[in-house]
Amino acid sequence: MREERGPIGHGGDLGAARALFPHAPEPSIDLSTGINPIAYPLPALPASAFARLPEPAEHAALEAAAARAYGVSDPACVVAAPGTQVLISLLPFVSPAREVAIVTPTYGEHAQAWRAAGARVRAVAAPEQGERADVVVVVNPNNPDGRTWPAAALRARAADLAGRGGMLVVDEAFADLEPVESLGADLPVHAIVLRSFGKTYGLAGIRLGFALARAPLAARLRAALGPWSVSGPALSIGRAALSDECWHAETRRARAADAARLDALLAPWCEGPVRGTSLFRTIETDAAPALFRRLGEAGIWVRRFADDERRLRFGLPAGEGAWARLEAVLGKGA
């Protein structure tokens, strides 16, 4: 399998979109990320959240709220961080490895982080492969194709790795709105689970994410992050959002409906099933380069992939105006 090297392309770069399509109509519609387009309503924040350093009790309250939301019995196993990207970058130094197997194609920052730390990185097709690896990385559900793996199989893989001092990393960035059994409910000793806050709650800019891990790995991550690793506003917003079960349930229903609506638009373009999660949908087609350009010229930015020009990933439109513009382009046919 081909590995992604060099600078990694990410969604959300509207500057690049405008440079590539300078005559596209404004406002641009950014469908290049897998972020919930309907954000959690921000609670009123006291001025003190910005004016002073967060207190340890506030940090602990956020981790307790995350533990309840993710089904973790012990809040000590939850480590809050300023985004999961920070945790991905820290892992190779907190738990060094010589050989890492990553189930691909997937989010490219995992491979880049381990490779930068000197590990040999191999792409594999499934978690049970990579027999000699010290660390196995699985994104569940996977980005960009939405593949999933049952928790029992992942726990068995973690047990196998533990027998030789290895570790399983499961990135559950898109698990919140999916029928996927998280490893957080019964954390294997030699495993770490990553959970994203910003994607589900549409608040990527506040930079908040979590690692779920047993001691001593959780303790090593906390030490590496240092004090005041999460801002006061992020602590308050995160605690409120993670505790709002009604909002989460309605969002899960609404985004699933949006994904089905998007599938109906994409199906005529797709050479095979439309895949993905409730926050993004992925197609593969020989027409992908032409469709990417057609959308870009209409001011609609979607995610393309350097390792496979036949693949495009679509986020969800934010409102009926954006849906109408997307339908106008996709409805013209190939």
Q: Which domain holds residue 294?
A: 14-39+246-330
pLDDT tens-digit profile of 177-201?
A: 999 999 999 999 999 999 999 999 9
Q: What is the pLDDT of residue 6?
A: 45
Instruction: Give yes or no for residue 146 having a pLDDT over 90.
Output: yes
At 164, the pLDDT band (50, 70, 90 cuts) reads confident
Q: Residue 44: inside a domain, yes or no?
A: no
pLDDT tens-digit profile of 13-71?
A: 888 889 999 999 999 999 999 999 999 999 999 999 999 999 999 999 999 999 999 99
Residue percentage of the chain with pLDDT more than 90: 91
CATH of the domain at 282: 3.90.1150.10
Beta strands in 36-180 (DSSP E): 78-81, 99-103, 120-124, 135-139, 167-171
Q: What is the pLDDT of residue 19?
A: 92
Structural domain total, the chain: 2
Mean pLDDT of the chain: 94
In a shared domain, residues 197 and 103: yes
Domain boundary among 225, 244, 263: 244
In a shared domain, residues 164 and 106: yes
In a shared domain, residues 113 and 223: yes
In a shared domain, residues 204 and 77: yes
In a shared domain, residues 271 and 290: yes
Query: In this structure, what token pair is assigned to residue 239?
Result: 């605690």
In a shared domain, residues 229 and 252: no
Q: Residue 9: inside a domain, yes or no?
A: no
pLDDT tens-digit profile of 230-242?
A: 999 999 999 999 9
Q: What is the pLDDT of residue 14?
A: 84
In a shared domain, residues 252 and 237: no
CATH of the domain at 64: 3.40.640.10
